Amino acid sequence: MIYPIVIYGSPILRNVSEDITPDYPDLKKLIEDMFLTMREAEGVGLAAPQIGKNIRLFVVDCTPWAEENPELADYRRAFINAEILEESEETDLFNEGCLSLPGLHENVRRPIAIRMRWMDEDFNEHDEWIDGLPARVIQHEYDHLEGEVFTDHLSPLRRNLLKNKLTNLTKGKYRAHYRTK
């Protein structure tokens, strides 16, 4: 099943999401559907709040970058109950977009590496340092679990310049090539 994607302005995107347990109903199917929904929308990440569920689950697909980064050729992963434990001091800028904010793309400064603990889809625990493009996508998706979106990271001046675009999103005035709600 392909889910419609929740757009900026919905309170669902502003809630802090809750951990889940291995007995969460139809978890495997939900993860599969999130991958489907992400692929259909041509995204590289999708967090559960973006399909209307305030649970700590997101999926990441870095394979669109595999041509220049062969190590990402099979980088399709689900992250459950993720918790960022440490961040590198070094940061960089990257032009981000979000399926919940169609039409907006902005440079966002973030740490280049993070240490994160999470469960994979079989509920095996991992605790690893992650860097490169996966670290970038993961931090963006992690924000969604905390009720944040990428525009929250911009300077007040930059955010002010985007005010009309953000207001238009909340009013349903936007174009997206995927189903939204």
- Interface positions with Ni ion (CB under 5 A): 98
Nearest residue (CB) to Ni ion, 42 versus 127: 42
Of 23 and 35, nearer to Ni ion (C-beta) is: 35
Q: Using the minimum distance from each CB to Ni ion, give the nearer residue, 105 or 158.
A: 105
| 35-70 residues labelled b (16+ CB within 10 A) or e (exposed) | bebbeebebbbbbbbbbebbbbbbbbbbeebeeeee
Tell me how far, at minimum, the Cβ of 96 lies from Ni ion, in Å: 8
DSSP 128-174: EEEEHHHHHHHHHHHHHHTT--GGGGS-HHHHHHTHHHHHHHHTT--
Whether 141 sits among the annotated catalytic residues: the reply is yes
User: How far apart are CB 142 and Ni ion at their closest, in Å?
Assistant: 10
Of residues 42, 71, 106, 141, which has the active-site annotation? 141
The CB-nearest residue to Ni ion is 98
For residue 99, the minimal CB distance to Ni ion (Å) is 6
115: how many CB neighbours lie within 10 A of its CB?
A: 14
Compare residues 28 and 105 and give the one whose CB is closer to Ni ion.
105
How many CA atoms does the CB half-sphere of 14 hold within 13 Å?
6
Q: How far is the CB of 98 from Ni ion (least distance, A)?
A: 3
CB-facing half-sphere around the CA of 72: CA atoms within 13 A: 18
Closest CA to 138 of 65, 83, 73, 63: 83
DSSP state of 51: G
**3-state secondary structure (DSSP) of residue 98:** coil
Catalytic machinery residues: 141
